[in-house]
A = this chain, B = another copy of it.
């Protein structure tokens, strides 16, 4: 007998072929109808969520996890707002990426098309259910959602509301699938579903992403890990440097585009660090420094070797004094997760070298790494920040959820 994953991925694949031909107009109306359905069913959704929260408390989930799981009126309003935003974005499918004619008369057009079926494996965050469904739908993709077991009642209630509304608005049935059996094996099965799933995007913490990347036979887009660096070059405007470092570390330490390590040129370390540290410590930041840093600031804890490679996701900053751009670039090459790095400098040559040599998704000159974000880049949406180089790199919006095909018109050409 076919399993739930087999049945639902096959249904999604069939639906995806119809969905690829649905107009932007219908998709946009469906997105707004999905928002309306969330509004109408808010009570039922919050009730289902209460069941999840109760079970989570019994199970002893942490406060942080329970908070991510919890839904209330304002949070449902946020989901509805998100759907409206996605409805307003341009439809990426159908765009002609290039076209040319061959000497033999063949006309070739490269046209953007949906990926097909996107699988999303995520944790107990019900907002990811709505957000992923919306972005996949708008880009013409069917979606198979496999959320965490702790949010299953919330996810069932949400999916029921949005799918009914979407299908009523003209979206092909089966375009949005929720795997309701949250046994570990269903995630494993999804990762083996090469026949019907074109790409898997894990959304969540490092452990989840690592497990999917290492296990999946379906192509994966890896997102999330950010061991980001700020480098204060000797010519930097020190006030600007302090502002950027402070913002990149303190404004939201738990996210991937926050910095974890500060590199500073030896020539200005004595002048720059004491004031910068004072400000950071007042915001609760713990400083872990190399030997040279600790000579300038004896209060700094000694940085261990592993600190350079750690994404703290907390108010901790590793700090190292370097001799100049070359040592900074070398340090970053060795330890970075290739997410985002910034140089603060007035020296165009140093900036140019940094931009050329640093191999990260986003390389900044004189701006906070916190801007690595689909909305801040102007994409209007974000399904994640890719830290791999295949397919998509950095913030992924709707075009990153597409592939392309070649349409070739001939008049009887043979080879």
Footprint of B on A, CB under 8 Å?
Answer: 17, 20-21, 100, 102, 106, 108, 113, 115-116, 194, 198-199, 213-214, 217, 219-222, 237, 240, 243-244, 246-248, 251, 333, 355-357, 359-368, 370-372, 376-378, 388-391, 393-394, 403-415
A251 to chain B, nearest CB (A): 6
Given contacts A247-B414, A410-B365, contact A390 B100 (CB under 8 A): no
Q: Which of B102, B371, B393 contacts A404 (CB 8 A)?
A: B393
Contacts of A198 in B (CB 8 A): 388-390
Given contacts A219-B388, A240-B412, A414-B370, contact A406 B356 (CB under 8 A): no
Closest to A244 in B: B414
Q: Which of B17, B366, B408 contacts A365 (CB 8 A)?
A: B408
Question: B414 to A366, Cβ gap below 8 A?
Answer: no
A335→B220 CA distance, assembly (Å): 24
Contacts of A388 in B (CB 8 A): 198, 219
Question: A115 to B389, Cβ gap below 8 A?
Answer: yes
A372 to chain B, nearest CB (A): 8
Contacts of A408 in B (CB 8 A): 362-365, 367, 371
A376 to chain B, nearest CB (A): 7
Given contacts A243-B414, A363-B407, A410-B364, contact A102 B378 (CB under 8 A): yes
In the complex this chain forms, how many copies of it are found?
A: 2
Most B C-beta atoms less than 10 A away, residue of A247, A365, A388, A415:
A415
Contacts of A376 in B (CB 8 A): 102, 415
Q: Which of B21, B243, B248, B361 contacts A356 (CB 8 A)?
A: B21
Question: B412 to A244, Cβ gap below 8 A?
Answer: yes
A212 to chain B, nearest CB (A): 11
Most B C-beta atoms less than 10 A away, residue of A213, A246, A389:
A389
Q: Which 10 A-B pairs have the closest CB atoms?
A: A367-B410, A247-B414, A389-B403, A391-B391, A370-B415, A367-B413, A240-B412, A219-B390, A362-B406, A368-B414
